[in-house]
Amino acid sequence: MNYLWEAVLAAGEQGMDTDRLRFGMAERFSGYMELSNPYLNQQELSGLPVIEMNPYYRFYHIFKELCHPDQEEFPRLRESMFNMIFHLLAENDILSGMTRKEYYKELLFRDIREGLYGPLIPEEIGLFDRNGRETLLSGMLRQYETGSSLDIFKDMMEDLIEESIVYQSNDDFREILVFAGQREEEGIRKKMDLLIRLFVELPYHVEIYYEHHFGIMGIDCTMEMDEMVLC
């Protein structure tokens, strides 16, 4: 990571309270980087007491006097102001890159964290990484805009559950068959439960098949002995 906004997003993803982050003036820094982490490929921030910054990378006009080498008075005050200013810049950095859709997703995620969608949703959505969470929130917004549909559920399954396939029964249109393509474990079960609760309407019933595909007449790869499930 190189930019201020990357550090703030990474801290939030690692479960850190971003309000408690502390930014400080780096003693030594590169003129080509904004963050001066101990390692170029630094990803973990929890062990850093201070996130060291190069204030001249993008904000020279703000810090040229505050961080001037000859300025030696009131060091504690200057450190506090440096930290406070960078917190304001970080907030502006993130908001300035948000489209209206991103803003709606942020509000939606806040409601989820506060339990407005039920007590289980915050834990289950935490099973997905940031990209997966963004996909989920985009699907929920799309559902608000167009209404519930199996197409959205199929898209979410395809994007979030590897090797998954969604079928609709020919005998009963309300029966949805899902091949998850993974060994049945607690994590994948919770992910599937979340997707079903969020994106499948009440008239539909979902049957999930883990690891082994159910047999389909005429499709040889699903009819292998000891490698198929009867349904």
Q: How many CB atoms lie within 10 A of CB 218?
A: 6
User: Residue ranges of the domains in the chain?
Assistant: 4-96, 100-229
Per-residue model confidence as pLDDT tens for the chain (231 residues): 677 878 888 887 787 888 888 898 888 777 778 888 765 566 667 667 788 888 888 888 888 877 776 677 787 888 898 999 989 998 888 777 666 787 788 889 989 989 898 888 999 998 998 889 989 999 999 998 888 788 999 999 989 998 888 888 888 888 998 888 788 899 999 999 999 999 998 788 898 888 776 655 444 444 455 554 545
* Closest C-alpha to 229, from 206, 196, 207: 207
- DSSP symbol at 215: P
Looking at residue 98, its pLDDT comes to 61
Please state, in angstroms and rounded to a whole number, the distance separating the CA atoms of residues 186 and 84: 43
- Element holding 38 (H helix, E strand): none
Please state, in angstroms and rounded to a whole number, the distance separating the CA atoms of residues 150 and 97: 32
- DSSP symbol at 23: E
Q: Burial level of 124, CB count in 10 A (0-12/13-18/19+)? A: buried
Beta bridge partners of 228: 213
* Amino acid at the residue 53: M
Looking at residue 4, its pLDDT comes to 83
Dihedral sign (CA 98, 101, 105, 107): positive
